[in-house]
Amino acid sequence: MSIVDQLNRESLVNEFKAVVSDTEALVKATANTGGEKVAELRSKAEESLRIAKIKLADSQAEAIARAKAAVKAGDAYVHEHPWRTIGLATSIGVVIGLLIGRR
């Protein structure tokens, strides 16, 4: 998954959390409003919120699991190829140093 996709996903999750929060506030604000239709709509909204929260928690757990797997893979690679990793890090450091030195 690319960084752009990850940022888009994080943005979407944050927006979804805001919608859930706003909907919860709306449900609480209409708690004292009478009427059978309002009560029915409120119960549907509460059920939808419950399902949305479960899906959001599952999505977050999946993202955390993928991140942990990526970290483990990176750690394993570094342990299997330490000199290659040191060479790559040194090369990147030299390039950054040269770019900074030009200014």
| Cα dihedral 40/44/46/52 (nearest 10) | -170
Can you give the pLDDT at residue 2? 65
Distance CA 51, CA 44 (A): 11
Can you give the pLDDT at residue 55? 79
Q: What is the pLDDT along the chain (103 residues), one digit of tens a residue?
A: 566 666 677 777 777 777 777 777 777 777 777 777 777 777 777 787 788 778 778 888 888 888 899 999 999 999 999 999 999 999 999 999 999 998 7
Overall pTM surpassing 0.85 (yes/no): no
